[in-house]
Amino acid sequence: MNLKNHMKKKFHLLRRILALLILGFVVWLIFKACRSEDVDHFKIERTPMRVERIRNIVHLATISYQDEVVVDSIEYYKSGSEKFAGTLSKMTDLDDIKHAISDPYVKRKIALIVQGKIEYGFDLQNPVYQLKKMTDSLMQVTLPQPEILVIATSPSGTRVFLENGTWKDYEIQYLKEKSKQQMKRDFEALHMESQAKQNIEHLIRQLIPAPYNVKFIYK
Amino acid sequence: MFYSRLLLIITICSFTMLMSCDETDDNIRNVEIYSIKDIGVLSTCEYTISKVIELKDRASWYKFGDRDILMSCKAKIEAGVRLDELKNEDIKVDGKRIKILLPYPEILSFDMDPQSIKTELESVNGLRSTFSQEEKNNILRQGEESIKANMGRTQILKQAKENARVFIENFYKELNFEEVIIEFKKPHEKEIPSS
């Protein structure tokens, strides 16, 4: 009889534990549904765009360079009390619990992958640019030194690879600027000046018909 | 009775968890190859476009609360002609007269400066989470697509065409040509390049 009662009690306890687990699971599902935002399903409103500035330019780009750069930032807890408070805060957020467990010393971190394109060439609005007829068969073309004309990046070429914690917009801006600077350094390390000059000389020779020979000067 | 109920509950829970699993993409996608390219593009016009991006994420039966965000951004778009597509037969010389057939202008570059991107307003209530940086980036992507889709309604290509004409005319007048005839090839569908 005692054994029977004992078994009954255990059975009731098991049922209660199971009911609690199921309830917890349902609560978790509801929170997950509220907190997980499906970014592909929402659409922006139709708003006008404004032409803010129109500029006439004369850029002759002769080299195009594509790059992909990873930029990241990590911040650690500075003290034990900060770590305690931060971990507690993360444990109350269902999205951040995993970060509190796997990276207990990390306050926040982010990694971005940024794709960009550099166009390198000549600004022909530079007063140095000059076409001069030397003789009936010789043209002299004075060109400025080649320079980076555009470092183009955009949201479609940017991916957030990892995001842990809250990041302000100015911090993300700083990382994206850092990625542009990295791309610039990567490109400058290739020393493409002579190739850019070769390309523009080929282009100009193609435009200038016979019988002209062309002499190039770079200032 | 108890065990049959337990089995039913376990089956429902397992089914729910399995439904949340993502599908794996088994397709091997072609990778992009980044390289240095020799090009010859003459950019003659630059437009700076500003846009306000608005998103309203309203509550639904399983989401308690609303989220709204207002962001502003600017993009620089350059247009011009691809001189590297010129062929020898496109340039015809007849004494002091020259006729040149240039490629039709197209959009050459699109740049959205990170410094020009601002979150003007963010409003989150109920049980909703704030907009993460990944979400903001996705919102900006939609703004970028909207700008690119509407660039054809601006005068950028017409202006680029006129500026290219002026540049090439001056170029050949420096070579002592008296008559410079510039024509453009027929436009064909070109996408705005991604940066």
pLDDT confidence of residue B189: 46
Q: Report the pLDDT averaged over residues B54-60.
A: 84
Q: Report the pLDDT averaged over residues A130-159.
A: 93
Please give the structure tokens belonging to residue A125.
């609005």
Q: How far is it, in rounded angstroms, from Cα B118 to Cα B116?
A: 6
pLDDT band at B191 (very low <50, low <70, confident <90, very high): very low
- What is the per-residue burial (b if ≥16 Cβ within 10 Å, else e) of A155-169? bbbbebeebbbebee
Please give the structure tokens belonging to residue A60.
């002759």
pLDDT confidence of residue B190: 47
In the predicted structure, residue B29 carries a pLDDT above the cut 70: no
| B55 vs A44, A52, A65: nearest CB | A44
Q: A–B: how many Cβ contacts below 8 A?
A: 235
Judged by DSSP in three states, A146 sits in coil
The residue among A112 and A10 whose pLDDT is bigger is: A112
pLDDT tens digits for A2-61? 788 888 888 888 888 888 888 888 777 766 665 555 555 678 888 889 999 999 999 999
Q: Report the pLDDT averaged over residues B74-98.
A: 93
Longest dimension (CA), chain A: 123
The answer to whether A60 contacts B42, with C-beta atoms less than 8 Å apart, is yes
Min Cα separation A131/chain B (Å): 6
Contacts of A153 in chain B (CB under 8 A): 111-112, 114, 195
| A61 vs B6, B41, B111: nearest CB | B41
pLDDT confidence of residue B19: 56
The answer to whether B98 contacts A116, with C-beta atoms less than 8 Å apart, is no
Mutation target for A interface from B1, B11, B43: give the one with most A CBs within 10 A: B43
pLDDT band at B15 (very low <50, low <70, confident <90, very high): low
In the predicted structure, residue A139 carries a pLDDT above the cut 70: yes
Neighbours of B17 (CB within 10 A): 11
| A163 vs B47, B57, B132: nearest CB | B132
Token look-up 């740049």 returns B111
Contact at 8 Å (CB) between A210 and A201?
A: no
**Which string of DSSP letters, residue by residue, matches A70-109?**
EEEEEEE-SSHHHHHHHHHHHHTSTTTHHHHHH-TTEEEE
Interface of B with A in 143-162 (CB under 8 A): 143-147, 150, 154, 159
Q: Does pTM surpass 0.90?
A: no
Q: What's the helix, strand, coil split of chain A in %, to 5?
A: 40, 35, 25
Min Cα separation A24/chain B (Å): 12
pLDDT confidence of residue A10: 83
The answer to whether A131 contacts B171, with C-beta atoms less than 8 Å apart, is yes
Q: What is the percentage of chain A residues whose pLDDT exceeds 90?
A: 56
pLDDT tens digits for B93-144? 998 999 999 999 999 999 999 999 999 999 988 878 889 999 999 999 999 9
Q: Is B93 on the interface with A (CB under 8 A)?
A: yes
The answer to whether A169 contacts B16, with C-beta atoms less than 8 Å apart, is no
The per-residue pLDDT of chain B, averaged, comes to 85
Q: Report the pLDDT averaged over residues B168-176.
A: 91
Q: Report the pLDDT averaged over residues B143-170.
A: 94
Mutation target for A interface from B134, B135, B145, B166: give the one with most A CBs within 10 A: B134
Min Cα separation B179/chain A (Å): 14
Q: What is the percentage of chain B residues whose pLDDT exceeds 70?
A: 78
Backbone angles phi and psi of A167, in degrees to 5: -125, 130
- The packing angle between helices B2-19 and A2-35, to 10°, is 20
The answer to whether B47 contacts A149, with C-beta atoms less than 8 Å apart, is no
In the predicted structure, residue B20 carries a pLDDT above the cut 60: no
Q: Is A10 on the interface with B (CB under 8 A)?
A: no
Interface of B with A in 42-81 (CB under 8 A): 42-57, 62-65, 67, 74-75, 78, 80
Q: Nearest residue on chain A to B92, judged by CA atoms?
A: A209
Q: Report the pLDDT averaged over residues A196-218.
A: 91
In the predicted structure, residue A213 carries a pLDDT above the cut 80: yes
Look at A154-158, A164-168, A169-173 and tell me which has the smallest mean pLDDT: A164-168
pLDDT tens digits for B160-170? 999 999 999 99
pLDDT tens digits for A57-107? 999 999 999 999 999 999 998 888 888 888 877 776 666 777 777 888 888
